[in-house]
């Protein structure tokens, strides 16, 4: 069986728009909802949201490719590039490079795509790499670009990209297509459909020696940001990471055909999941701000330190909740003081207690008090 790029209809993807219409509506509905929620954030919380989402995307999009980065180094690099105060820590090349790409995407989402942009992103991603022959240019090697795995005593080829000799012309066509299908253009495509097609087409071409998945996901976010008119700040890579095996299966199936409805459905559902995660994060920050404002000057230094540490964990909070032992480690309080402080935080409505005796755990009682519909509800229903 031939690969999708070898078929006579490449790259004219086919899909059933009726099966995507409700998903497109959900995306636009949720995008408007999230934008409205963000307006509730003060400047400090908005800055925190931007750093957290960009940082998490940088870490997760790298983790999909098996590269584990230091989250705090990435966030420190982001803050430095955005002109914010940092902790002055030295930043390893990989963390600095992916952070640079995320900031560049954030700042230039509305500009047309061109080859220098892609070259620049690749150079950032490959910062510090000594094993890549060509950085900041498309691949030129004669060997096949294959995705393979070893099973028992044989190699299995999951995908083979077009040969390097075809890449320049294919990328010229891709860049032209991307710019012709954006908002305001004559052949504009719906945002989720365009993002899914862009990602699939780019990773099919695999134009660079490495970094194609990360750049492909950045292109999807660029397409979605252009559609809503501002940086989407989606937790897209995080959503893909949680469904990583499905992601590779969906891509592998799409690599064999140019009828891509199933791929676009999967990708659209993942985008909606990413929006839900972003909304949770925004609502959590709103709730944090309201809670801290309500408790201002009512907390002792130990309680404030413990609460801020819990907030650092995000909407999910501490795994298993806060315990007296964790409180003692964070604040250096005695057990009696820790028990008294935690009980007081429950009385003040900052924490909710669950369990008894040695199984007692405490969880943040955060209520953003923002009335909003379910982001995944189909507004057409």
Is pLDDT at 358 greater than 50 in this prediction? Answer: yes
Asked if 158 and 147 touch (Cβ cutoff 8 Å), the reply is yes
What is the rounded CA–CA span in Å between residue 211 and residue 91? 20
Residues in CB range of 145: below 8 A, 6 or more apart = 139, 160, 161, 162, 163, 164, 206
Asked if 272 and 23 touch (Cβ cutoff 8 Å), the reply is yes
What is the rounded CA–CA span in Å between residue 12 and residue 54? 33
How confident is the model over 172-217, as pLDDT tens digits?
999 999 999 999 998 999 999 999 999 999 999 999 999 999 999 9
Strands 146-151, 154-160: pairing is: antiparallel
What is the rounded CA–CA span in Å between residue 140 and residue 309? 49
The average pLDDT across 328-340 equals 96
Burial class (CB in 10 A: 0-12, 13-18, 19+), 277: buried
How confident is the model over 15-26, as pLDDT tens digits?
999 999 999 999
| pTM exceeding 0.85 | yes
The whole-number pLDDT of residue 152 equals 61
Both tokens of 381, joined, read: 């229903």
Give the angle 236-270-378 at the CA atoms, nearest 5°.
120
Is pLDDT at 371 greater than 60 in this prediction? Answer: no
Give the count of alpha carbons within 13 A of 136, CB side only: 9
The whole-number pLDDT of residue 357 equals 86
How confident is the model over 249-283, as pLDDT tens digits?
999 999 999 999 999 999 999 999 999 999 998 99
The whole-number pLDDT of residue 368 equals 54
Helix axes 261-294, 43-64, angle to 10 degrees: 140
Is pLDDT at 374 greater than 70 in this prediction? Answer: no
What is the rounded CA–CA span in Å between residue 19 and residue 262? 9
Which one, of 286, 370, 343, 359, lies nearest residue 351 by Cα? 343
Domains with residue ranges and CATH for the chain = 4-283 (1.10.3290.10), 296-364 (1.10.10.10)
Encode the chain in three state secondary structure.
Answer: CCCHHHCCCCCCCECCHHHCHHHHHHHHHHHHHHHHHHCCCCHHHHHHHHHHHHHHHHHHHHHHCCCCCCHHHHHHHHHHHCCCCCCCCCCCHHHHHHHHHHHHHHHHCCCCCCHHHHHHHHHHHCCCCCCCCCCCCCCCCCCCCEEEEEECCEEEEEEECCCHHHHHHHHHHHHHHHHHCCCCCCCCCCHHHHHHHHHHHHHHHCCCCCCHHHHHHHHHHHHHHHHHCCCCCCCHHHHHHHCHHHHHHHHHHHCCCCECHHHHHHHHHHHHHHHHHHHHHHHHHHHHHHHHHHCCCCCCHHHHHHHHHHHHCCCCCCCCCECHHHHHHHHCCCHHHHHHHHHHHHHCCCEEEECCHHHCEEEECCCCCCCCCCCCCCCCC
**pLDDT range class, residue 370, cuts 50, 70, 90:** very low
């Amino acid at each position: 069986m031939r690969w999708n790029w070898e078929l006579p209809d490449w790259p004219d993807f086919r899909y059933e728009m009726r099966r995507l219409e409700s998903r497109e509506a959900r995306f636009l509905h949720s995008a408007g909802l999230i934008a409205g929620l963000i307006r509730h954030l003060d400047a400090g919380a908005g800055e925190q949201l931007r750093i957290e989402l960009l940082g998490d995307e940088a870490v997760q999009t790298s983790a999909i490719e098996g590269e584990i980065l230091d989250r705090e180094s990435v966030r420190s690099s982001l803050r430095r590039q955005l002109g914010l105060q940092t902790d002055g820590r030295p930043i390893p090349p990989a963390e600095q490079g992916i952070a640079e790409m995320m900031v560049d995407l954030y700042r230039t989402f509305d500009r047309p795509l061109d080859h220098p942009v892609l070259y620049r992103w690749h150079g950032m991603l490959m910062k510090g790499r000594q094993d890549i022959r060509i950085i900041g240019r498309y691949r030129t090697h004669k060997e096949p670009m294959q995705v393979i795995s070893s099973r028992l005593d044989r190699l299995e080829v999951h995908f083979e990209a077009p040969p390097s000799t075809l890449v320049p012309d294919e990328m010229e066509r891709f860049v032209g297509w991307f710019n012709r299908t954006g908002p305001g253009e004559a052949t504009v495509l719906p945002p989720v459909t365009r993002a899914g097609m862009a990602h699939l087409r780019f990773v099919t071409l695999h134009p660079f020696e490495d970094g194609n998945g990360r750049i492909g996901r950045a292109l999807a976010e660029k397409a979605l940001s252009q559609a809503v008119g501002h940086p989407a700040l989606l937790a897209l890579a995080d959503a893909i990471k949680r469904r990583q095996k499905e992601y590779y299966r969906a891509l592998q199936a799409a690599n064999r055909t140019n009828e891509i409805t199933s791929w676009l459905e999967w990708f659209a559902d993942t985008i909606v999941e990413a929006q839900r995660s972003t909304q949770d994060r925004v609502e959590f920050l709103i709730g944090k701000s309201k809670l801290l404002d309500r408790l201002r000057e009512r907390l002792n230094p130990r309680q404030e330190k413990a609460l801020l540490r819990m907030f650092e964990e995000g909407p999910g909070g501490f795994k298993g909740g806060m315990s007296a032992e964790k409180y003692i480690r964070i604040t250096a309080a005695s057990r009696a003081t820790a028990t008294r402080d935690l009980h007081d935080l429950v009385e003040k409505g900052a924490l909710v207690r669950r369990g008894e005796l040695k199984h007692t755990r405490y969880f943040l009682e955060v209520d953003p008090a923002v009335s909003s519909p379910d982001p995944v509800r189909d507004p057409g229903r």
